[in-house]
């Protein structure tokens, strides 16, 4: 029996995490299935950022670096993020963008490998990794005379040879929602003498991550997706303590100096993760990010990431079930793995034509997901739906599928207005 709208309402009524939704300001009439691209606005953010502007900046001025907690914001926020990714206090800083942080950790990892195993000249990643990760890897390979080897997920194990210095992967794939077993892949890399660098952009705040127990080497992640930090929010960076103090990171700015206010001409890196800072931090953005982090930490007393994960899987299971039962015969496929252990917090549907227009027609109805292009080879275009368990409910899943069904049955998506591509898809 297919789950009914009444069933979904009952699931919402029994949901122990339901109250967490009240932390957010969601627009009326919108079903927001794009928290994997840009998380929603925490209720506290507008007033908190206004306070940072008018009181801390306006009145406190330069004094606020000390008195308003500006100077240690990267570490304070980092400690909050650490709780969500299985890291210890003092091991994470919030700073810069995911792309920039990836450059730093990849460079540090390659330096370690270069010292320990100078003969290894290959960096391995996944062909379908997020492009910025691949571009940063390409830039570093050019700089250092290395080769970037891109493989399909099923070929990673085989690619871990004694020529490889570093394996760089994104934990949850942005296009398919497929999730790697971080502990197993890291262990396989280590057995082959390879360092493992992980991008947690689609994991932090979405799925449980255990950086320590997985024995990962370095990690970066995104502040504006499941952490609800706001557009362009600072990202974060983690290095295992066995590596954090070993190398200069390449962007050796004064905020990563051991004593920035001694203004010495020589760089002396701060111990630990603080050396991964570069320059002055964007305090207003940090302020908004902290509001976002607090929305996720509010789940801690209710079971934390494990409880969020259970709800996320229930939501994505329900979406898959309803699409298959109610939208059958419309050419939709499933790109996301059915197995729980292999699935992040999103569901990606495929279609050979019209994927972009269908997403646009859904957005016009207030159901916001997004479109990701196929690679033109065998990959089909993707309709992507993110399910943030902090604020998405079961009834919304049912309604979203009902809208999808109507868009497909009426052929509404074929209208010209839904077929004109915009800059951001
Ligand atoms: C979203 C995302 C990014 C974003 O990088 P920015 O530097 O914030 O633009 C990077 N990597 C992955 C895997 C992502 O999903």
User: pLDDT tens for residues 212-225?
Assistant: 999 999 999 999 99
113, 171, 230, 335, 396 from 371: Cα distances, Å: 38, 20, 20, 13, 19
Query: Average pLDDT for residues 79-86, to the nearest whole number?
Result: 98
- Strand-strand pairing, 164-170 and 195-199: parallel
Substitution site in 96, 97, 98, 175 for ligand 1 pocket (most atoms within 8 Å of beta carbon): 98
Which residues constitute the domain of residue 123? 71-297
pLDDT tens-digit series, residues 240-265: 999 999 888 999 999 999 999 999 99
CATH of residue 37's domain is: 3.90.1150.10
Q: Is residue 53 part of a domain?
A: no
Query: Which residues contact ligand 1 via a Cβ below 6 A?
Result: 97-99, 130, 132-133, 170, 174, 199, 201-202, 222, 235
Contacts of 407 by beta carbon, 8 Å cutoff, 6+ apart: 358, 361, 362, 365, 413
User: How far, in Å, CA of 392 to CA of 402, rounded?
Assistant: 16
Q: Can you say whether the dihedral through the CA atoms of 85, 336, 350, 129 is positive or negative? A: positive
pLDDT tens column, 337-356: 999 999 999 999 999 999 99
Q: Among 265, 297, 329, which residue terminates a domain?
A: 297
pLDDT score of 378: 62
The pLDDT mean for the chain works out to 96
Within-domain flag for 60: no
Report DSSP state, residue 414. G
| Residue 226 belongs to a domain | yes
Question: Are 309 and 256 part of one and the same domain?
Answer: no
Per DSSP bridges, beta strands 370-372 and 31-32 are unpaired
Q: Are residues 345 and 227 in the same domain?
A: no
Compute the C-alpha angle 124/198/210, nearest 5°. Answer: 140
Would you give the DSSP letter of residue 178? Answer: B
CB of 208 closer than 8 Å to CB of 309: yes
State how far the alpha carbon of 394 is from the alpha carbons of 23, 30, 52, 111, 400, in Å: 18, 14, 36, 48, 10
Asked if 285 and 230 count as a contact pair (C-beta separation under 8 A), the reply is yes
Query: What is the rounded average pLDDT of the residues 381-407?
Result: 97
What would the pLDDT profile of 2-38 be if each residue is shown by its tens digit?
999 999 999 999 999 999 999 999 999 999 999 999 9
Q: Judge whether residue 98 has pLDDT over 80.
A: yes
Same domain, residue pair 266 and 333: no
Selected residue with higher pLDDT from 3 and 421: 3
Q: Are 293 and 372 in contact (CB under 8 A)?
A: no
Are 18 and 34 contained in the same domain? yes
* pTM greater than the 0.95 cutoff: yes
Looking from the CA of residue 222, the nearest atom of ligand 1 is 8
User: Same domain for 121 and 250?
Assistant: yes
In a domain, 395, yes or no: yes
For position 422, what pLDDT does the model report? Answer: 81
> Residue 375's pLDDT is what?
63
284 vs 373, residue with greater confidence: 284
What number is the average pLDDT over the span 290-298?
Answer: 98
Among 196, 177, 176, smallest CA distance to 187 is for 196
The pLDDT confidence band at residue 377, using thresholds 50, 70 and 90, is low
Q: Are residues 77 and 153 in the same domain?
A: yes
Say how far apart CA 264 and CA 195 lie, in whole Å: 34
Average pLDDT over residues 122-143: 97
* Ligand 1 atom at minimal distance to the Cα of residue 133: 11
216 falls within a domain: yes
In a domain, 119, yes or no: yes
| Domain end position, chosen among 260, 279, 297 | 297
Look up the CATH number of the domain holding residue 212. Answer: 3.40.640.10
Burial class (CB in 10 A: 0-12, 13-18, 19+), 7: middle
Q: Per mean pLDDT, which range of 125-134, 212-221, 365-374, 391-400 is the poorest? A: 365-374
- The reply to whether 281 and 175 lie within a common domain is yes
Nearest-CA residue for atom 14 of ligand 1? 201
Q: Whose CA is nearest to atom 4 of ligand 1?
A: 98
- CA torsion through residues 360, 361, 362, 364, sign: positive
State the chain's maximal CA–CA distance in angstroms: 72
pLDDT > 70 in the chain, percent: 99
Name the helix (H) or strand (E) containing 12.
helix 5-14
* Calpha distance 150→137 (Å, rounded): 11
| Residue 1 banded pLDDT, cuts 50, 70, 90 | confident
Going by the annotation, the residues of the binding site for pyridoxal 5'-phosphate are 98-99, 130-133, 170, 199, 202, 224, 254, 280
Same domain, 287 and 317: no
Which of 297, 322, 337 is the last residue before a domain boundary? 297
CB 197 within 8 A of CB 218: yes
- For residue 265, tell me if it sits in a domain: yes
3-state secondary structure of 181: coil
Same-domain status, 180 and 309: no
Do residues 180 and 33 both lie within one domain?
Answer: no
Residue nearest to atom 2 of ligand 1 (CA): 201
Which residues are tagged catalytic?
130, 199, 224-225, 384
Q: Which residue in 355, 375, 329 sits closest to 418, CA to CA?
A: 355
pLDDT in tens, 140-189: 999 999 999 999 999 999 999 999 999 999 999 999 999 999 999 999 99
Specify the number of domains making up the chain: 2
The per-residue pLDDT for range 190-200, each reduced to its tens digit, is: 999 999 999 99
pLDDT of amino acid 379: 73
Closest approach atom of ligand 1 to CA 101: 7
Confirm whether 173 is domain-assigned: yes
């Amino acid at each position: 029996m297919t789950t009914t709208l009444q069933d979904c309402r009952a699931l919402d009524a029994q949901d122990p995490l339901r109250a967490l939704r009240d932390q957010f300001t969601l627009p009326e009439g919108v079903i927001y299935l794009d928290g994997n691209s840009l998380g929603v606005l925490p209720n506290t953010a507008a007033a908190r950022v206004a306070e940072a502007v008018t009181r801390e900046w306006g009145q406190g001025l330069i004094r606020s670096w000390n008195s308003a907690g500006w100077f240690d914001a990267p570490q304070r926020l980092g400690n909050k993020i650490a709780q969500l990714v299985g890291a210890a206090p003092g091991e994470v800083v919030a700073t810069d963008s995911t792309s920039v942080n990836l450059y730093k950790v990849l460079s540090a990892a390659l330096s370690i490998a270069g010292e320990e195993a100078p003969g290894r000249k290959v960096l391995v990643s996944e062909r379908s990794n997020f492009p910025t990760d691949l571009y940063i890897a390409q830039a570093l390979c050019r700089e250092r005379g290395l080769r970037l080897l891109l493989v399909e997920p099923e070929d990673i194990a085989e690619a871990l040879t004694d020529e490889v210095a570093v394996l760089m992967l994104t934990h949850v794939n942005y296009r398919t929602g497929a999730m790697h077993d971080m502990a197993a892949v890291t262990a396989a890399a280590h057995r082959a003498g390879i360092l493992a660098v992980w991008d947690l952009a689609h994991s932090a705040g979405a799925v449980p991550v255990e950086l320590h127990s997985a024995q990962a080497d370095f990690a970066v992640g995104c502040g504006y997706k499941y952490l609800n930090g706001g557009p362009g929010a600072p990202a974060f960076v983690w290095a295992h303590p066995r590596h954090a103090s070993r190398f200069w990171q390449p962007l050796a700015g004064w905020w990563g100096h051991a004593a920035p206010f001694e203004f010495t001409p020589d760089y002396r890196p701060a111990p630990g993760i603080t050396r991964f800072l570069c320059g002055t931090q964007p305090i207003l953005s940090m302020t908004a990010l902290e509001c976002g982090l607090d929305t996720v930490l509010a789940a801690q007393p209710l079971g934390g990431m494990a409880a969020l994960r259970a709800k996320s899987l229930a939501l994505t299971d329900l979406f898959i079930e309803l699409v298959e039962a109610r939208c059958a015969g419309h050419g939709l496929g499933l790109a996301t793995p059915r197995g729980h252990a292999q699935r992040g917090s999103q569901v990606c549907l495929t279609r050979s034509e019209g994927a972009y227009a269908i997403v646009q027609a859904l957005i016009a109805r207030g159901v916001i997901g997004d479109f990701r292009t196929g690679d033109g080879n065998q990959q089909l275009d993707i309709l992507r739906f993110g399910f943030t368990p902090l604020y998405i409910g079961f009834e919304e899943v049912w309604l979203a599928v009902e809208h999808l069904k109507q868009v497909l049955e009426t052929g509404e998506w074929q209208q010209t207005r839904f077929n004109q591509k915009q800059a951001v898809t």
